Amino acid sequence: MKLIIVILGDEVAEEALRDLIEREFRVTRVASTGGFLRRGNTTLLIGTQDDRVDDALEVIRRVRTVQTGEGQPRATVFVLDMEHFEQL
């Protein structure tokens, strides 16, 4: 099991969230602030099976971007191993 943490701009967060849910990913959206990407941010938390990580990342890669300048990332992604997961 993996936890994918995606930090992306507010302007594309809704599109990413919609596309992930369409593909049956469970996603939690968290409003976030800070200078990480130097603009309004949204953090998405996605819990998924190991074999679906590439599918989730492909959705994020396809999200349209607003040009912020050359070399600017569209999203920052962390993929973490989860030792334990429960839904209570």
pTM of the complete model: 0.84
What domains, with CATH codes, occur in the chain?
2-81 (3.30.70.120)
pLDDT tens digits, 46-58: 999 999 999 999 9
Checking if the pLDDT of 61 tops 80, the result is yes
Asked if 16 and 65 touch (Cβ cutoff 8 Å), the reply is no
Span 1-28, pLDDT tens digits: 999 999 988 888 899 999 999 999 999 9
* Cα–Cα nearest to 5, from 54, 85, 55, 75: 75
Residue 11 structure tokens: 């302007």
Reported as a single tens digit per residue, the pLDDT across 70-81 is 556 678 899 999
pLDDT at 40: 77
Q: Which residues contact 41 (CB under 8 A, 6 or more apart)?
A: 7, 8, 9, 10, 31, 32, 33, 34
